[in-house]
């Protein structure tokens, strides 16, 4: 589900969403930076290219795009949100040593317990935290 920028633009057009410079830049950033960036990281990076950019725009844009299901919020930190251009089902691992957030290709449906029979599941979140292999081997 790692959509290209072109695919994302196509989806915007289909939904009659205006292709503003700022929206395209945010999408482009998320497509090119698969690092689960924070609002501030996105803002600082794009501010260089778009000097007029406002942080409120980043918030508005990210909120709107996630409402449209074009991106996902990753709530793995307790103080600030991170964003992911990959909207397919997958989990995350956060290394508490280097801070890196790994993507985990996995079948999240296997995690659904029987207790939830009869429940409608709209969102599945699987996060792990610890120390990654790379950091352990030092």
Query: Which positions touch DNA (CB under 7 A)?
Result: 17-23, 38-40, 50, 52-57, 59-61, 63, 79-81
**Least distance (Å) from DNA to the CB of residue 44?**
12
How far is it, in rounded angstroms, from Cα 82 to Cα 35? 9
What token pair was written down for 35?
């690092």
- Residue 115 binds which entry of a second copy, DNA, none, with Cβ cut-offs from 5 to 8 Å by kind? a second copy
**Least distance (Å) from a second copy to the CB of residue 68?**
18
Measured from the CB atom, the residue of 14 and 119 that comes closer to a second copy is: 119
> Pattern of binders to a second copy over 12-41, x per CB under 8 A?
------------------------------
Tokens 């795009």 label which residue? 65
Window 119 to 138, contacts with a second copy (CB under 8 A) = 119-133, 136
Q: Please count the CA atoms within 13 angstroms of the CA of 91 that sit on its side-chain side.
A: 14
**Least distance (Å) from a second copy to the CB of residue 89?**
12
**Number of residues binding to a second copy, judged by CB under 8 A:** 37
What is the DSSP code string of 16-74? T----HHHHHHHHHHHH--S--BHHHHHHHHHHH-TT--HHHHHHHHHHHHHTTSSEEE
In the chain, how long is the greatest CA-to-CA distance?
52
- 98 belongs to the binding site for a second copy (CB under 8 A): no
């Amino acid at each position: 589900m790692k959509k290209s920028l072109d695919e994302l633009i196509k989806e915007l057009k289909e939904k009659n969403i205006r292709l503003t410079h700022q929206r395209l830049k945010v999408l482009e950033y998320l497509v090119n930076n698969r690092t689960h960036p924070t609002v501030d990281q996105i803002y600082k990076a794009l501010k260089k290219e778009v000097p007029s950019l406002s942080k409120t725009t980043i918030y508005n844009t990210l909120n709107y795009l996630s409402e449209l299901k074009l991106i996902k919020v990753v709530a793995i930190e307790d103080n600030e949100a991170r964003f992911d251009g990959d909207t397919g089902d997958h989990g995350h691992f956060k290394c508490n040593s280097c801070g890196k957030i790994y993507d985990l290709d996995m079948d999240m449906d296997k995690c659904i317990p029987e207790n939830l029979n009869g429940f409608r599941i709209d969102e599945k979140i699987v996060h792990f935290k610890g120390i990654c292999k790379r950091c352990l081997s030092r």
